[in-house]
């Protein structure tokens, strides 16, 4: 049973959540720390962030596991704690979802390894698949409803993530790439190229996240809308505008009102899974829900 697709098809739209990193930084996470470690050292903070998004109307919450592969965690010397951190991430989100006053799914977040794959880099497909499988197994054990592969730039890495997940779990998979370089990914992938490749690999919930704000996502999604097969559900999770560096901190210029307008546009374009990314907060999600009329939320 593909719970994700069934969930989407029961609603006119699905409202996702917003940024985890932005909220963690506001809570005191420094650039030198691993966000995933907070799943075990400060679980109350992670729980509070999930609860904030659910209260704002999110129907999907995303685990705090974006950098949960051994490659990312190795930057902090934590590569031997993949299972511990990802299991905790899933269990924290699962507990919040199960206690919510409306139906909420848990997305097991899987981000890029941060490495470049051969032949341009040194990461082999076998190493990547093993790393994604290790992470996915722990997220599945913790109770996620589906996996969300996100912020990818290379199709080769997406393919290995899908293969790694499928080697350990039969849960649904959704995938988004980030088109932040003249409407292409950093590795030169175009929106329709991504759509066609992911569809060929059996993914039916496909889209874009992060990037350079709502206007960029709008163009990317418009290209996907024009090319998508009828059985594809599109995902849009834009950053809250563009980052601005002021007073030694990064701030995003996308207000809740800006993101509300973005949400209306995405729904009008036929996007069925609408969320936000960097710079967004529960206030942004609440504004998006109000703008969308809230009819997608079961209450």
Model confidence pLDDT, tens digit, residues 41-53: 999 999 999 999 9
pLDDT at 283: 97
HSE-CB at 33 with a 13 A cutoff on CA atoms is 14
Asked if residue 129 is part of any domain, the answer here is yes
CA atoms within 13 A on the CB side of 224: 36
- What does the angle CA 21 – CA 25 – CA 29 come to, to the nearest 5 degrees? 105
Burial 89-111 (b: 16+ CB within 10 A, else e): bbbbbbbbbeebeeebbbbbbbb
Residue 74 lies in a domain: yes
52 inside domain: yes
Whether the Cβ atoms of residue 239 and residue 211 lie closer than 8 Å to each other: yes
User: Which two structure tokens, joined as six digits, stand for 173?
Assistant: 């998979």
Cβ–Cβ under 8 Å, residues 165 and 132: yes
Residues 125-168 have pLDDT tens digits of: 999 999 999 999 999 999 999 999 999 999 999 999 999 999 99
Q: Is residue 189's pLDDT more than 80?
A: yes
pLDDT tens digits for range 269-278: 999 999 999 9
31 — pLDDT class (breaks 50, 70, 90): confident
Average confidence (pLDDT) over 161-190: 96
- Judge whether residue 295 has pLDDT over 60: no
Q: Which two tokens stand for residue 114?
A: 């941060």
Structure-token pair, residue 167: 């080697």
Residue 286's pLDDT band, with cuts at 50, 70 and 90, is very high
The number of helix segments (H) and strand segments (E) in the chain equals 12, 10
**In this predicted structure, what is the pLDDT of residue 299?**
34
Inside any domain, residue 238? yes
Over pLDDT 90: what percentage of the chain?
A: 88
- Specify the DSSP element, H or E, that contains 236: strand 233-238
298 inside domain: no
Q: Is 148 helix (H, G, I), strand (E, B) or coil?
A: strand
The CATH number assigned to the domain holding 238 equals 3.20.20.330
Domain-located, residue 299: no
Question: Alpha-carbon distance 292 to 296, whole Å?
Answer: 8
Q: Judge contact between 280 and 239, C-beta under 8 A.
A: yes
Q: Would you state the pLDDT for residue 146?
A: 98
* Higher pLDDT among residues 213 and 274, named by residue: 274
Length of the chain: 299
Tokens encoding 289:
């829900």
Cα separation, 234 vs 274, whole angstroms: 9
| Residue 297, domain member (yes or no) | no
Contact between 257 and 228 under an 8 Å Cβ cutoff? The reply is no
Q: Mean pLDDT over residues 212-237, rounded?
A: 96
Domains in the chain: how many in total? 1
Q: Is the pTM of this model over 0.75?
A: yes
CA dihedral defined by 88, 89, 91, 94, rounded to 10 degrees? 170
User: According to the model, what pLDDT value does residue 250 have?
Assistant: 72
> What does the pLDDT average to over 85-94?
98
Q: Which domain holds residue 281?
A: 3-292
Tell me what pLDDT residue 298 has.
Answer: 45
Residue 116 gets which letter from DSSP?
P
pLDDT at residue 1 above 70? no
Answer with the residue of higher pLDDT: 181 or 84. Answer: 84
In a domain, 157, yes or no: yes
- H or E segment at 60? strand 60-62
For strand 173-177 and strand 205-210, is the pairing parallel, antiparallel, or unpaired?
A: parallel
| Cα dihedral 90, 60, 241, 219 in deg (nearest 10) | 120
**Whole-number mean pLDDT of the chain?**
94
Rg (CA), the chain: 17
Q: What is the pLDDT of residue 181?
A: 87
Look at residue 288 in the predicted model and tell me its pLDDT: 97
Q: How far apart are CA 159 and CA 127, in angstroms?
A: 13
Please tell me the distance from the alpha carbon of residue 121 to that of residue 187, in angstroms, as a whole number.
12
């Amino acid at each position: 049973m593909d719970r994700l697709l069934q969930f989407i098809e029961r609603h006119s739209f699905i409202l996702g959540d917003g940024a985890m990193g932005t909220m963690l930084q506001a809570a005191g996470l420094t650039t030198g720390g691993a966000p995933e470690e907070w799943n075990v050292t400060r679980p109350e903070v992670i729980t509070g962030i999930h609860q904030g998004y659910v209260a704002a109307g999110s129907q999907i919450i995303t685990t705090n596991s974006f950098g949960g592969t051994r490659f990312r965690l190795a930057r902090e010397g934590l590569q031997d704690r993949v299972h511990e951190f990802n299991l905790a991430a899933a269990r924290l989100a699962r507990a919040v979802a199960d206690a919510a006053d409306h139906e909420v799914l848990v997305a097991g977040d899987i981000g890029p390894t941060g490495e470049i794959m051969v032949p341009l880099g040194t990461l082999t497909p076998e190493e990547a698949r093993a790393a994604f499988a290790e992470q996915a197994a722990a997220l599945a054990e913790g109770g996620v409803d589906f996996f969300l592969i996100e912020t990818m730039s290379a199709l080769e890495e997406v393919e290995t993530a899908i293969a790694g997940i499928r080697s350990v779990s039969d849960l649904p998979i959704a995938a988004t790439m980030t088109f932040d370089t003249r409407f292409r990914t950093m590795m030169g992938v175009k929106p329709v190229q991504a759509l066609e490749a992911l569809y060929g690999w059996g993914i039916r919930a496909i889209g874009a996240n992060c990037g350079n704000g709502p206007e960029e996502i709008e163009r990317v999604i418009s290209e996907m809308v024009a090319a998508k097969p009828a059985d594809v559900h599109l995902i849009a999770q834009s950053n809250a505008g563009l980052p601005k560096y002021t007073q030694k901190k990064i701030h995003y210029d996308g207000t809740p009102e800006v993101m509300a307008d973005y949400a209306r546009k995405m729904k009008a374009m036929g996007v069925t899974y609408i969320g936000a990314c960097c710079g967004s907060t529960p206030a942004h999600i609440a504004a998006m829900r109000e703008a969308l009329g809230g009819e997608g939320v079961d209450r």
